[in-house]
């Protein structure tokens, strides 16, 4: 007997074997059990998710010789003939090859006749959206009022091209793309039954390459079996798919985190000898960055050791920016002179366009400077990044940061250990510890009243109580503990704040800058000339100063 492809051999024969699509299975099972089965169904979805398979299962359920059932026997003549594609009362039509009005009329001429052997005559039209406009019009009347012995089952990957007059006469079911885990489980199940050895990395690579299509996953499994000679390993499967080893992706991301352009380009060059799929390389970079971003927001989430390392190396802003660059580069890859240069430019953009660190005086830090080897360098961990920011801002371990002339008065001496004093140098301390997000916003609207080295009492302005949250308190405590090198407890109270908060100081600086700008305009002789010549006047808007 000739070899049968795995996608055909392991095609589900009943609803129990169906992978995913529980919402469709539930509706059809209830319809059969309650004898409330519609006469026309439209199954939509991307390729390989089970549209035609579900249609054939439904045809078996309603034509099984043991009676209408949700569990066809699979052994009667009707079930066997439907499974083998030779049931005379199951008319399967490929709309792509029979689009004309004459083909449709030929089908409809036989609708009035009762089925030859089965309980129902079933018309299964695949890729129905390719029928011509005249064919759809000819189908409308029969589709609305068919004989009681006829069922119409339509499948399409592009429901937008199906006329609304047809859609309104059908029950529509949209089949979802299968998730990676469902495809992986099915691959493992089939390999066990076929006595094929494979490792976890091979399963992961195949299920990921399937891109939501189980049929594609099984076709790739067939190809991998032929490529690997029966025993599937992650390295062999990756070589077949053109996927670079995970270590190359990790090397690139480490270079991006370190701001080392030379190392990043070298890592891409090292991977080129394996003839990688560069689009898949970009997707792997985006996938790793996504996992790192999730770990940063949800530290308790399950993650690999490298993911946690990457989450610590990248700031949340840089992680989000790199992810956006990688995703955008996927769409622009075909516009590049060649795909390798497209990937290189995307990685170099991740290094060149880095979020500026906000310093204590409100100015942005300069971009990373090149090292001795010509590459750009930046700290490799959050703590180191914060120390670098402090150094760039003029904050040493022995003296507080210098403030511009318009800023608040200089803070008092730091507490023992050469650290900034939270009570006297609150705004500078927030910049030094690198606090961001909701926790930083909470601190911007408050001011400490006491700090004894182990406990910080923070008062939040009574008009800004909405910024206070348990998570923000925890984040503040974690950053302070890391900065002072000991466990620091944070207690927050909502009340009237005696001292100026960072938010109030920022507003004051903005107003002072606005006043200076207005003074410059008032003293500008050219502005007076414009006013007198053209009867002009200054119109102040929110963004004008």
Rg, Å, the chain Cα set: 33
Q: Is pLDDT at 376 greater than 60 in this prediction?
A: no
Burial pattern 117-144, b for ≥16 Cβ within 10 A else e, equals ebbbbbbbbbbbbbbeeebbebbeebbe
Rounded distance between C-alpha atoms, residue 395 and residue 386, angstroms:
11
Q: What are phi and psi of 324, to 5 degrees?
A: -65, -40
In a domain, 421, yes or no: no
Say if 476 falls within a structural domain: yes
**Mean of per-residue pLDDT scores for the chain:** 82
Judgement on whether residues 158 and 10 belong to the same structural domain of the protein: yes
Residue 101 has pLDDT above 80, yes or no: yes
Pairing of strands 455-461, 446-451: antiparallel
Instruction: Specify the DSSP element, H or E, that contains 448.
Output: strand 446-451
CATH code for position 472: 3.30.300.150
Whether the per-residue pLDDT at 377 is higher than 50: the answer is no
Residues 264 and 222 both lie in one domain: no
In this structure, of 98-102, 154-158, 395-399, 496-500, the range with the lowest mean pLDDT score is: 395-399
Count of other CB atoms within 10 angstroms of residue 96: 12
CA distance 337 to 343: 11
> Number of H helices and number of E strands within the chain?
23, 10
Q: Are strands 150-156 and 40-44 parallel, antiparallel or unpaired?
A: parallel
Q: Which of 378, 399, 398 minimizes the C-alpha distance to 389?
A: 378
pLDDT 10s digits, 129-150: 988 888 888 888 888 888 899 9
pLDDT tens digits along 325-338:
999 999 999 899 99
Average pLDDT for residues 509-530, to the nearest whole number? 83
Contact between 468 and 442 (Cβ < 8 Å): yes
pLDDT score for 372: 37
Q: Does residue 387 surpass a pLDDT of 80?
A: no
DSSP β-ladder status, 171-174 and 90-94:
unpaired
**How many Å separate Cα 503 from the centre of its chain?**
34
Would you say residue 405 has pLDDT above 50?
Answer: no
Q: Where are the alpha helices (DSSP H) in 333-491?
A: 339-352, 382-392, 426-433, 437-444, 470-484
**294 located within any domain:** yes
User: What is the arithmetic mean of pLDDT over 97-121?
Assistant: 84
Q: Same domain, yes or no, for 29 and 168?
A: yes
The parent domain of residue 257 ranges over 242-396
Alpha-carbon distance of 423 to 246, in angstroms, equals 47
Residue 79, phi then psi, degrees to nearest 5: -65, -45
Same domain? For 57 and 112 the reply is yes
Residue 413 maps to a domain: no
SS3 428: helix
Q: Give the pLDDT of residue 434.
A: 87
Q: Are residues 75 and 100 in the same domain?
A: yes
Structure tokens given for 180: 């990676």
DSSP 94: E
Q: Is the domain of 74 the same as that of 132?
A: yes
Q: What CATH number did the domain enclosing 212 receive?
A: 1.10.8.60
Q: What pLDDT is recorded for position 539?
A: 76
pLDDT tens digits for range 478-507: 999 988 889 999 999 888 888 889 988 888
* CA–CA distance, 277 with 271 (Å, rounded to integer): 10
More confident residue, 122 or 531: 122
- Tracing tokens 């998730």 back to the chain, one arrives at 179
Choose the final residue of a domain: 396, 413, 446.
396
Residues 6+ apart with CB under 8 A from 518: 545
The answer to whether 136 and 163 have CB atoms below 8 angstroms apart is yes
Q: Provide DSSP, 491-533.
A: EEEEE--SSPPHHHHHHHHHHHHHHHHHHHHHT-HHHHHHHHH
User: In terms of domains, do 434 and 475 share one?
Assistant: yes
C-beta of residue 457 within 8 angstroms of C-beta of residue 449: yes
Q: Write the Ramachandran bin of 339: left for phi over 0, alpha for psi from -120 to 50, otherwise beta.
A: alpha
Residues 137 and 185 in one domain: no
What is the percent of the chain where pLDDT is above 70? 86
| CATH number for position 123 | 3.40.50.300
Element (H, E) at 180: helix 180-193
Burial class (CB in 10 A: 0-12, 13-18, 19+), 200: exposed
**Based on the domain organization, do 230 and 254 belong to the same domain?**
no
Task: Identify the three-state secondary structure at position 203.
Answer: helix
Q: Report the domain count for the chain.
A: 4
In this structure, the answer to whether residues 265 and 159 fall within a common structural domain is no
Edge-to-edge strand order for the sheet containing 489-495? 446-451, 455-461, 489-495
pLDDT of residue 151: 92
Would you state the pLDDT for residue 244? 62
Distances (CA, A) of 161 to 46, 131, 197, 299, 309: 14, 9, 44, 45, 48
């Amino acid at each position: 007997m000739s070899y049968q492809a795995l996608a055909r051999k392991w095609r589900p024969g009943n609803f129990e074997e169906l992978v995913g699509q529980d919402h469709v299975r539930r509706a059809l099972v209830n319809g059969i059990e309650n004898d409330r089965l519609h006469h026309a169904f439209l199954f939509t979805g991307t390729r390989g998710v089970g549209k035609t398979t579900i249609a054939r299962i439904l045809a078996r359920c309603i034509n099984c010789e043991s009676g209408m059932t949700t569990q066809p026997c699979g052994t009667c003549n009707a079930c066997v003939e439907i499974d083998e594609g030779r049931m005379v009362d199951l008319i399967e039509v490929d709309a792509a090859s029979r689009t004309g009005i004459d083909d449709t009329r030929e089908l409809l001429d036989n609708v009035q006749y009762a089925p030859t052997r089965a309980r129902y005559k079933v018309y299964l039209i695949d890729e129905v959206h390719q029928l011509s406009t005249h064919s759809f019009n000819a189908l409308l009347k029969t589709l609305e009022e068919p004989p009681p012995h006829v069922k119409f089952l339509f499948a399409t990957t592009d429901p937008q091209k199906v006329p609304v007059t047809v859609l309104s006469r059908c029950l529509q079911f949209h089949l979802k793309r299968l998730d990676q885990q469902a495809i992986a489980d099915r691959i493992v199940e089939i390999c066990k039954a076929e006595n094929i050895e494979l490792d976890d990395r091979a399963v992961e690579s195949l299920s990921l390459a399937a891109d939501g299509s189980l049929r594609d996953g099984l076709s790739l499994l067939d190809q991998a079996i032929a490529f690997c000679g029966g025993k599937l390993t992650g390295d062999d499967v990756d070589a077949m798919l053109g996927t670079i080893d995970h270590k190359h992706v990790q090397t690139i991301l480490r270079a991006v985190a370190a701001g080392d352009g030379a190392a990043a380009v070298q890592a891409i060059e090292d991977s080129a000898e394996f003839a990688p799929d560069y689009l898949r390389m970009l997707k792997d970079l985006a996938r790793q960055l996504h996992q790192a971003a999730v770990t940063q927001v949800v530290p308790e989430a399950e993650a690999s050791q490298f993911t946690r390392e990457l989450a610590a190396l990248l700031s949340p802003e840089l992680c989000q920016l790199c992810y956006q660059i990688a995703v955008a580069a996927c769409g622009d890859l075909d516009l590049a002179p060649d795909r390798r240069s497209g990937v290189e430019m995307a990685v170099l953009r991740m290094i060149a366009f880095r979020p500026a660190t906000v310093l204590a005086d409100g100015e942005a830090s300069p971009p990373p400077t090149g090292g001795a080897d010509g590459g750009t360098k930046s700290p490799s961990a959050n703590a180191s990044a914060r120390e670098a920011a402090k150094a760039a801002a003029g904050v040493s371990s022995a003296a507080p940061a210098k403030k511009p002339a318009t800023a608040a008065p200089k803070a008092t001496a730091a507490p023992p250990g050469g650290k900034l004093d939270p009570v006297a140098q609150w705004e500078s301390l927030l910049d030094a510890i690198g606090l961001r997000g909701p926790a930083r916003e909470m601190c911007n609207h408050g001011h400490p009243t006491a700090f004894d080295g182990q406990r910080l009492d923070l008062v939040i302005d009574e008009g800004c109580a909405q910024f206070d949250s348990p998570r923000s308190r925890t984040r503040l405590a974690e950053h302070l503990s890391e900065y002072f090198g000991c466990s620091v407890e944070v207690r927050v109270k909502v009340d009237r704040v005696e001292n100026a908060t960072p938010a109030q100081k920022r507003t004051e600086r903005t107003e002072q800058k606005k006043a200076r700008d207005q003074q410059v305009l008032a003293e500008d002789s050219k502005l007076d000339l414009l006013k007198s010549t053209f009867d002009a006047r200054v119109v102040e808007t929110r963004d004008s100063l």
